[in-house]
Every structure is written in structure tokens, then in C-alpha cells.
């Protein structure tokens, strides 16, 4: 099964990050502070509205102890 469009990828990535964040017990605000952004800006990543850049992906992986493969895994 493949993605239909880039928005499907962004939503899936956001959902995977959200699940990993919750598993680690972090709030959106805590992750946002580490990334030097507001909670509202970070929320847009989890909702698939905005896409993360490479550096942000690696930082989130470090924070949540996951790999980029975990972030991009399809259900």
C-alpha cells in the first residue's frame, strides 16, 4: 500500500510522533520548548499541517528515543 499524497505522509508522521511523545510522557509544550518554538507551532507538526525539517526530525528522534524509520512507518 502506498501513500496517496504528501498530506497523507505528513499526517502519518505527525501521528507517529504524537504516539511516541505520549509513550514517553511528554507534553507538546515540553517538546516545543526543546525545539525553540511555541506549543501551537509544534501542534501543527503533529496534526500534519506543517512538515518537519531534517534537523527537527533528528532532534525529535533523540528526545523520544526513536529512529526516523519509526517516524515514517506506515500503520
Q: What is the pLDDT of residues 4-50, one digit of tens each?
A: 677 788 899 999 999 999 999 999 999 999 999 999 999 999 999 98
Largest CA distance in the chain: 36
Nearest to 50 by CA among 9, 22, 5: 9
For the chain, which residues make up each domain, given as ranges?
Answer: 6-72
Query: Span 59-75, mean pLDDT?
Result: 93
Q: Which three cell numbers stand for residue 72?
A: 515514517
Looking at domain 6-72, its CATH architecture is Orthogonal Bundle (1.10)
Structural contact between residues 30 and 15, judged by C-beta atoms closer than 8 angstroms? no
Q: What is the DSSP letter of 51?
A: P
The reported pLDDT for the residue numbered 2 is 61
Rounded to two decimals, the pTM is 0.87
Amino acid at each position: 500500500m502506498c501513500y496517496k499524497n504528501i498530506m497523507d505522509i505528513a499526517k502519518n508522521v505527525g501521528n507517529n510522533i504524537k504516539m511516541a511523545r505520549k509513550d514517553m510522557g511528554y507534553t507538546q509544550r515540553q517538546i516545543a520548548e526543546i525545539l525553540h518554538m511555541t506549543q501551537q507551532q509544534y501542534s501543527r507538526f503533529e496534526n500534519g499541517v506543517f512538515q518537519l525539517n531534517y534537523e527537527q526530525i533528528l532532534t525529535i528522534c533523540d528526545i523520544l528515543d526513536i529512529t526516523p524509520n519509526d517516524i515514517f512507518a506506515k500503520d
